[in-house]
Structure 1
Amino acid sequence: MGCDYLAEPPSYSQFFQNYLLPNKPVLIGPRVISSWPAYHAWASHADPDNPQIDWDYLSDVYGEHEVMVADCATREFSDQKRETMRFRDLVALWKAGHGGALYAKDWHLARAVATAAPPPSPSPAPSSPSRGPALGSFYATPALFRDDWMNAYYSACTADDFRFVYAGAAHTFTPLHRDVYASYSWSTNVAGRKRWWLFPPAQTPLLGGEARGDVVPSGWYHQVENLTACISINHNWCNSVNLPALYESMCAKVEEVERALEDVQELLAQNGTDWRGEWTRIVQDVVEKDAGWNWVTFWKMVLHALRIASGCEDQTSSLWEPASPELTPPWSFIKARVRPCFDDFIRREQCEFELVEGLRGVVDAVGAALQINGAREPYSL
């Protein structure tokens, strides 16, 4: 399967029809990020084919932030060995010619900057007097990706999000993986080049490019290597289009955990007649620890999105600008994607909506939201 390259960002309807619905990857040219402060402040683009990352600037501005660092040369269980360090110390290692296998990953820089008291701004480099503000919003989510149920919910209702910065030297990499619960991913190189290997879902049983910006479809396994020193901004995201894939992935994860804990289930069943509630609680706790979500999180996210999409409630956050109606599918489409997941969930033999504390109220609220006749019909599909 080929991967389209678009020099200019498509319209939302083109993106929806050509990439979201068929679940296809796409590369979009650098113009989509040309207005970002990070594009101008983090690197010199005097030579567009060979931008130079300003590690001194990044260290001065963001050096005190703690970052998760993966050692790409050391494997630990099924992932790379990881540790936490100050970003300034990581840059110092690189500048001293050490730590070439170290890769800063999953850095929640946008949230950290937005929620922290701003320190005094450093003086700009003498040779770069117009390189933009040191702190504040260093990028804006492209319009095509703003219909994002994950980050809308997490930004408004939790202390977490799925917005990341990645920074590493040439040949650092992320091993083969599928993003959390089959979510979408978009990745934009602020500077540097990456090579992506993408495997569609049909090839999953067989598994045991270079660009400025990538959109990774739902459920596609992928591996990514930095061909040069590289710094990028990435989001995991989802919406009504890939919600069925997320739901199926959640169901599969629950079943995987249940199989792994069969001996616990047998022990609980032997020791008491009212064991199903405790068993369900244990399973959901393990599911959440494994990937950060459980059924409560999933349905709270869906409810948050439905209330916004139906126009019944403004559940926005200063950390996340919601998508305008012309950048989302029609309300009728959204309901049609959510309804089969909802109906299947309340019929599950595990009866989680009855047994998990607090979940019944959330699920009932989702059902009520699906009865709303919304007015958000920006265009017909």
Structure 2
Amino acid sequence: MDREARVFAESHFRGLEGCLPRRVGPQLDRVDFIEKPDSFSYADFFKGYLLPNLPCVFSSAFTEGWGSRRLWVTPSGKPNFDYLLQNYGDVVVPVANCGVREYNSNPKEHMPLRDYISYWKEYIQGNYSSSRGCLYLKDWHLCRDSSAEGVFTLPIYFSSDWLNEYWDALDVDDYRFIYMGPTGTCWSVNICGRKKWFFFPPGQEEALRDCHGSLPYDVTSPTLLDSRLHPMRDHCSPPLEVTQEAGEMVFVPSGWHHQVHNLEDTISINHNWVNGCNLANMWHFLQQELCAVQQEIIDWRDSMPDWHHHCQVIMKSCSGINFEEFYHFLKVVAERRLLLLAKGMGPGKVEGGKGTRLGPEQAAFDIGRIAEVLESVVAHPDFQRVDTSAFSPRPEELLQQLEEAVAATTSL
């Protein structure tokens, strides 16, 4: 990030005055296609898509140097099963059964990759049919489970990635996934194959809900036309449709309801992320999740000891994170940004390369975003019930450090 992009971003968030961007997204008639890497800078992506929260598709030219596109795919463009078996055959991977629904999702099992590839070959030979149903390899943490060296290179546009920065710092987990599956299964880069995407801008998903408040399992289902089941369906605009070809990269913005179908045998690399541009959305989501948990067990509020603590435990079980861990997430990222600025790399100095990797301007922007969200966290009644006596630094102390850093960088 250069200084111009930082000033542009800070002006954008000042205009929001601490509020989330509007829930009803802009009316688009298409998703932009970015053709040439040489003429598309990080600042172009940041100001044109990341900050306004709009989807886009990058051409295959952006990923042509990836080892996975060369090694995981046959000359005919099909999955290279022999290479995958030789290098990853014994790795245990999660597999979802797309033909079975449990609580509006697909049940998962775990199996060695060689067993999944054996099934996949059988599925293809059976004219894309199997007595075992349609199985989809989903959420395989390749970077965590085995060496991913040379498989892919993190695109420079997604280099501000707080989720994986946090988990890498803890050396525990990550949010980098591999998906594989046959035709008909449900960020994202196609290593091989084709996908069909359906996008609904933020807020539009509310019109998709049924009379019980649930989102549809399949947005293409004829049941959505039943006004008794989906009374708000007429208020929803048609989705934006994108066909993603091999090598292309789709940017999926925060809050965009989407559905994906494999049109061919497909392998994709997917990457969930959070950064300063959507941090407030994450905090808003966590507050909603806690409210939902509290509502579910409200009848035990007066009789259950430590009811508020139990709500946080349940929230972590359901969402993978609660208020305490969210604070630690903010702390890890904040301390790394403060350290970078403390090294004397003041904002305004030229960053290395094209100004797209993490540098002082990006650090200053991130600190400002964390400070704004942390102020809201510290003031939240349910966070105030969390025992922070052993936290180092205490939340109020970290907030003061961030506010001082914001004041110092604003004057430069």
Q: TM-score range by the shorter chain?
A: 0.7 to 0.9
Partner of 2:8: none
Partner of 2:18: none
Contact 1:151 1:161 in 2 (8 A): yes
Question: Match for 2:141 among 99, 105, 108?
Answer: 108
Partner of 1:16: 46
Deviation at 1:66, TM superposition (A): 0.8
Partner of 1:294: 322
Partner of 2:310: 282
List aligned pairs for 1:26-105, cutoff 5 A.
26-44=56-74, 46=75, 51-97=77-123, 98=130, 99=132, 101-105=134-138
**Alpha-carbon separation, structure 1, partners of 2:402 and 2:63:** 36
Structure 1 stretch 344-353 or stretch 76-85: which is displaced more? Answer: 344-353
Contact 2:94 2:110 in 1 (8 A): yes
- After superposition, the Cα gap between the structure-2 partners of 1:62 and 1:369, relative to the gap in structure 1 and judged at 3 Å, is farther
Partner of 2:332: 304
**TM-score, with length taken from structure 2:** 0.73
Partner of 2:376: 344
For 2:70, the aligned partner's letter is H
List aligned pairs for 1:119-198, cutoff 5 A.
136-173=149-186, 186-198=187-199
The structure that is strand-richer by fraction is 1
Question: What stretches of structure 1 of length at least 5 have no aligned partner?
Answer: 115-134, 174-185, 269-274, 315-322
Partner of 2:405: 373
CA RMSD of aligned residues (A): 2.6
- After superposition, the Cα gap between the structure-2 partners of 1:27 and 1:293, relative to the gap in structure 1 and judged at 3 Å, is same
Question: Is structure 2 residue 274 aligned with structure 1 residue 224?
Answer: no
Deviation at 1:35, TM superposition (A): 0.9
Contact 1:5 1:29 in 2 (8 A): yes
SS class of match (2:254)? coil
For 2:43, the aligned partner's letter is S
**TM-score, with length taken from structure 1:** 0.79
Deviation at 1:232, TM superposition (A): 0.5
- After superposition, the Cα gap between the structure-2 partners of 1:306 and 1:73, relative to the gap in structure 1 and judged at 3 Å, is same
Contact 1:166 1:231 in 2 (8 A): yes
Partner of 2:271: 235
**Alpha-carbon separation, structure 1, partners of 2:146 and 2:119:** 23
Contact 2:31 2:55 in 1 (8 A): yes
Question: Is structure 2 residue 211 aligned with structure 1 residue 204?
Answer: no
**Alpha-carbon separation, structure 2, partners of 1:233 and 1:358:** 39
**Alpha-carbon separation, structure 1, partners of 2:51 and 2:196:** 25
**Alpha-carbon separation, structure 2, partners of 1:312 and 1:286:** 38
Contact 1:105 1:167 in 2 (8 A): yes
Contact 1:149 1:302 in 2 (8 A): no
* Post-superposition CA distance 1:255-292 (Å, at most 9, x none): 11111111221213xxxxxx5xx222211111111021
Contact 1:353 1:363 in 2 (8 A): no
- After superposition, the Cα gap between the structure-2 partners of 1:297 and 1:313, relative to the gap in structure 1 and judged at 3 Å, is farther
Q: Determine which structure has greater relative contact order: mean sequence separation of CA pairs < 8 Å that are 6+ residues apart, divided by chain length.
A: 2
For 1:27, the aligned partner's letter is V
Contact 1:146 1:327 in 2 (8 A): yes
SS class of match (1:355)? coil
Deviation at 1:86, TM superposition (A): 0.9
Partner of 2:284: 248
Contact 1:94 1:100 in 2 (8 A): no
**Alpha-carbon separation, structure 1, partners of 2:172 and 2:342:** 21
Deviation at 1:358, TM superposition (A): 4.5
Residues matched between the structures, number: 326
- After superposition, the Cα gap between the structure-2 partners of 1:353 and 1:265, relative to the gap in structure 1 and judged at 3 Å, is closer
Deviation at 1:253, TM superposition (A): 0.7
SS class of match (2:276)? coil
For 2:202, the aligned partner's letter is P
For 1:34, the aligned partner's letter is E
